[in-house]
Amino acid sequence: MATRQKAWPQWSPPLITVDTSSLRALFSKPYGAPAPSAEQWRAAYSEAVIFEDPTQQQQGLDAYLAAQEGLLKRCDDVLLKPLSIALEGNTAFVEWEMGLKIKGIEFIYPGATRLLLNDEGKIVDHRDYFDFVGPTFGPVPVLGGFVRWLYKRFVS
């Protein structure tokens, strides 16, 4: 007679409901505070997430987490402050302000994120929209003047 082994349920991270409250928590990091943990990201993001911002494109949750960790390592401190959040169906938008402190200089980037959710409520596509050039090079002596001049050439 064959014995049956009891099948143990496989552990999976708890599902979170992606709502304005959970998005506010994921997009909040005051200066001096820790960033959301890998477990928090894993609870909200699909393993196959696609991430894109003005500086990079990553595919997969591990690559996304590595990109987040890389940013934290390159900076003395990071701020992320959500301003407004909109959620309709499987699409969410988060308007935010990001601050990066690097070698005594603070760079401020206003921006927005568009998130697409799958049927399980996990984020499968994360796209950040912000001006990388102006806030990065604007404060730099000489180079900042050139960047402002260049921007004016396109606006005027």
Q: Which residue has the higher pLDDT, 114 or 19?
A: 114
- Residue 132 burial (C-beta neighbours within 10 Å; 0-12, 13-18, 19+): middle
Model pLDDT, residue 1 = 53
What domains, with CATH codes, occur in the chain? Answer: 20-155 (3.10.450.50)
Confidence label for 7 from pLDDT (cuts 50, 70 and 90)? low
**DSSP H or E segment with residue 150:** helix 143-155
Predicted TM-score (pTM) of this structure: 0.81
In the chain, DSSP assigns E strands to 45-53, 56-59, 77-88, 91-102, 105-117, 123-130
pLDDT at 11 over 50: no
Calculate Rg over the CA atoms of the chain: 19
